[in-house]
């Protein structure tokens, strides 16, 4: 990592400020986050397309309304492809955490550094995602509202696995602990991000439809290529956005419930924490004195001061 150019400020964040901080981080590190996402999106999308194309003869034949030829091989291939889509979403979000956390320290982590930091935690994250999915499915079977409730309470599982190195089951409990008393705040943040991803996905789908209409749709290789490129494009536009906002919300929840500070953040992502030993953003209060107003939390990251 390069030497830090500025130090982030600390204070509580409103829902709007959490979103603002996430969007600023996304803009400041967009190239790095896209690069990290591509490291997992390209191979998984290519494999997914190849699996579906090799098992389902009409998968990319847009001259017909049929989506499958009805064979068991086609059904299996489609199931594997959809499973790979879900795996992509998990890994693409997880691979961004290091770069986002480094940005909060005023430092830079490359796409490769972020991937290397995440790689040892990938299996645990996939297991945690599977457990969370099972819990959500149970909630759906019981009640849709219950499923939404569980989604929000378990939404901090990913950062708990990647940043705190929790195991799959303990990460679920950690997320439950962090979101306790902050359900509505967390729901509001996630709902806005979900709406944005729906808009982006719909726009990309429209672009794919226009592209296919302008080409010879009977060319299945061309159709499969366009489809794969659009899926990759959606991935690099949506998953870094989700990862940045979830990371900001995660750190804000830790500050609110645990007095989390920059020194602990730096230690969690393997950065040098010594420069925060006596952080000017959080001066030590006299014994017995109440915490100063505005202590804790992360402000939206600011750029380097003028002339820095």
What are the residue boundaries of the structural domains of the chain, listed by start?
17-271
Predicted pLDDT at 218: 62
Given this model, what pLDDT does residue 281 score?
41
Whether pLDDT at 183 is above 90: yes
Are 76 and 55 contacting, i.e. CB atoms less than 8 angstroms apart?
A: yes
Tell the burial category of 278 from Cβ atoms under 10 Å away from its Cβ (0-12, 13-18, 19+): exposed
Record the tokens describing residue 261, joined without a space.
């500070």
pLDDT of residue 296: 39
155 membership: H or E segment, kind and range: none
More confident residue, 260 or 300: 260
Write the DSSP string, 159-228: HHHHTS---HHHHHHHHHHHHTT-HHHHHHHHHHHHHHHHHHHHHHHHHHHHHHHTS-TT-HHHHHHHHH
Lowest mean pLDDT among 76-90, 112-126, 137-151: 137-151
Q: What mean pLDDT comes out for the span 46-67?
A: 78
Q: Supply the pLDDT for residue 275.
A: 57
pTM listed for this prediction = 0.68
Q: What is the pLDDT of residues 64-94, one digit of tens each?
A: 666 666 788 888 888 898 899 999 999 999 9
**31 neighbors 304 (Cβ within 8 angstroms):** no
Residue % of the chain over a pLDDT of 70: 74
Taking 70 as the threshold, does the pLDDT of residue 153 lie above it? yes
For residue 269, the model assigns a pLDDT of: 66
For the segment 260-269, what is each residue's pLDDT rounded down to a tens digit? Answer: 666 666 666 6
Question: Which helix (H) or strand (E) covers residue 141, if one does?
Answer: helix 122-142
Mean pLDDT of 92-120: 88
The number of angstroms, rounded, from the C-alpha of 169 to the middle of its chain's C-alpha atoms is: 19
Residue 71: CB atoms within 10 A of its CB come to 12
Find residue 298's DSSP bridge partners.
10
Answer whether residue 216 shows pLDDT above 80.
Answer: no
Residue 168 reports pLDDT greater than 60: yes
């Amino acid at each position: 990592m390069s030497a830090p150019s500025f130090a982030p400020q600390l204070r509580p964040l409103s829902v709007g400020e959490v979103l603002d901080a996430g969007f600023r981080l996304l803009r400041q590190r967009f190239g790095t986050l896209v690069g990290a996402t591509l490291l997992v999106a390209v191979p998984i999308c290519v494999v997914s397309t190849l699996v579906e194309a090799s098992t389902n003869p009409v998968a990319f034949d847009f001259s017909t309304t049929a989506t499958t030829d009805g064979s068991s091989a086609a059904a299996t291939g489609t199931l594997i492809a959809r499973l790979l889509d879900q795996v992509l979403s998990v890994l693409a979000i997880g691979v961004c955490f290091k770069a986002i956390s480094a940005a909060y320290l005023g430092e830079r982590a490359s796409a490769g550094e972020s991937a290397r930091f995440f790689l040892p935690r990938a299996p645990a994250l996939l297991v945690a995602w599977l457990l969370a999915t099972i819990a959500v499915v149970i909630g759906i079977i019981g009640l849709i509202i219950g499923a939404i409730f569980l989604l929000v309470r378990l939404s901090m599982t990913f950062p708990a696995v990647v940043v705190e190195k929790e195991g799959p089951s303990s990460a679920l409990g950690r997320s439950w602990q962090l979101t306790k008393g902050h359900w509505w705040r967390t729901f509001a943040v996630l709902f806005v991000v979900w709406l944005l991803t729906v808009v982006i996905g719909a726009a990309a789908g429209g672009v794919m439809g226009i592209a296919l209409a302008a080409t010879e749709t009977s060319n299945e290789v061309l159709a499969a290529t366009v489809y794969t490129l659009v899926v990759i494009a959606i991935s690099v536009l949506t998953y870094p956005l989700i990862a940045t906002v979830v990371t900001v919300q995660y750190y804000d929840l830790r500050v609110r419930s645990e007095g989390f500070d920059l020194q602990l953040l730096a230690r969690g992502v393997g950065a040098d924490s010594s420069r925060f030993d006596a952080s000017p953003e959080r001066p030590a209060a006299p014994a017995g004195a109440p915490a100063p107003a505005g202590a804790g939390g992360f402000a939206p990251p600011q750029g380097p001061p003028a002339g820095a």
